[in-house]
Amino acid sequence: MSTTHAPDAATGQDAGPISRALARAFHDDPMMGWFFPEASSREASLVEYFTVLFTRQYLPDGVCERTGGAAAFWMPPERARAVPDPETVGTLLGILGDRAGAFREAVETAAAHTPREPHWSLAVIGADPAVRGLGQGGALLRSGLAKADATGHPVYLESSKESNIPVYEHFGFAVREEVPLPGGGPVLWSMWRAPRPPADR
């Protein structure tokens, strides 16, 4: 991965560094902890999980950017409700093991609350803890939001980490809904950001 803070388009060669950075970024995420409850093996499982998502879904269908220690995956309006192909789903369920059922229920619950109107979706964003506070996540957010604003579309995201809400609010998002995941899972906060003209970004 690049050592700079300026976002670059991600390529397949970035899969390893991106997946490792995201695995560390999401190690303490409530939803990832729900899916991968064993802390000792969580990072290795998350590396596999994010490698599959990146290479099989978001790289082919989305907009993927990275910095030196962070990455973001966006889905444009025409692909915002796209789902992984059956082979990819099977691979993910294999990684999840006995948590596959919880994963399916969570995905189905979140999908039922996804807005129907055309929008960009911020599917994944995370920074390795080693680079937090250096502005890399903010640079990725600004880059993706500029693309969404240029098309005149709103942006949707979901977060299971309450401490991230003020960060997203700083970038113009507002909480749309609180969605408890079934089976005693964490709460998802869905957030929405209306498009802005370039002068207001």
Q: What is the pLDDT of residue 1?
A: 43
d(CA 86, CA 167): 34
Asked if the structure places residue 77 within a domain, the reply is yes
CB 155 within 8 A of CB 148: yes
Burial, 7: exposed, middle or buried (Cβ in 10 Å; 0-12, 13-18, 19+)? buried
Going by the DSSP 8-state scheme, the letter that residue 181 receives in this structure is P
Our count of domains for the chain comes to: 1
CATH number for the domain that contains residue 135: 3.40.630.30
**Phi, psi for residue 57 in degrees, rounded to 5:** -120, -60
The model's pTM: 0.92
Q: What is the pLDDT of residue 3?
A: 44
Q: What is the pLDDT of residues 108-136, one digit of tens each?
A: 999 999 999 999 999 999 999 999 989 99
Q: By residue range, what is the domain housing residue 23?
A: 8-200
Q: What is the pLDDT of residues 56-86, one digit of tens each?
A: 999 999 999 999 999 999 999 988 667 788 9
d(CA 54, CA 144): 16
Q: What's the one-letter identity of residue 102?
A: A
Asked if the structure places residue 78 within a domain, the reply is yes
d(CA 100, CA 106): 10
Asked if the structure places residue 3 within a domain, the reply is no
